[in-house]
Amino acid sequence: MANYKIHDNPVRDEWIKKIGSLNSLAKGAEALADFRRQYTTPLRASYDLELDWGWIECKLEEKVALLKHHELNDAQFLTQTATGKDAQKEADAVIAKMAACTDKYEAEKIHIGFRQAFKPPMMPVNVFMDTDRILGTKLMELRNIGYYDLSLEQLRKARGVKTITLQ
């Protein structure tokens, strides 16, 4: 690990090649969605890219934003997700799911899942920000009821947290 270069390393070089090969919005959106599911948020499937995931996600987002600019017209840019779906309908579905939620831990998963799936450039900012505010408000309302009554260990157990120890 002593020779690991933070800003110039083989992992980033490999991802730059992968990102450079994305030549359509469909491919870019799919790659970004897959990357986020695999390597971002507390719900990630893998910690393999712990040192580089933020940088790689940023580069993928840049690529998807450029592909959106090239492939979508102005009206589509403000109303569609990068996958071509109606952004407001997608947002409304998540809002309805959150509105029906009564469990703070499930609400966290809904909110994290929304951000993972739709954080711009996947969803237009105008729709994303309002939806994120609504989801966050509901989450905080659910959390405010006894959230800090549990010890750290009890919170970890209730949330299914996996503790990772670095050596």
What tens digit of pLDDT does each residue of 101-130 get? Answer: 999 889 999 999 999 999 999 999 999 999
pLDDT value at 59 more than 90:
yes
Q: Hey, what are 61's tokens?
A: 């987002």
Measured distance CA(126)–CA(121) in Å, rounded: 11
Residues 91, 164, single domain; the answer is yes
Confidence of residue 152 (pLDDT cuts 50, 70, 90): confident
Does residue 79 belong to any structural domain of this protein?
no
Does residue 50 belong to any structural domain of this protein?
yes
Does residue 40 belong to any structural domain of this protein?
yes
Q: The domain containing residue 153 runs over which residues? A: 84-167
Q: What integer best gives the mean pLDDT of the chain?
A: 92
Instruction: Answer yes or no: are the C-beta atoms of 117 and 157 closer than 8 Å.
Output: no
Q: What is the mean pLDDT of residues 22-45?
A: 95
Q: Hey, what are 5's tokens?
A: 């270069």
Q: What is the mean pLDDT of residues 79-107?
A: 97
pTM of the model as a whole: 0.82
**In this structure, what are the phi and psi dihedrals at residue 86, rounded to the nearest 5 degrees?**
-70, 115
Q: What is the mean pLDDT of residues 29-40?
A: 97
Residues 109, 164, single domain; the answer is yes
Rounded to 5°, the CA angle 59-93-22 comes to: 25
Q: What percent of the chain has pLDDT over 90?
A: 73
Confidence of residue 34 (pLDDT cuts 50, 70, 90): very high
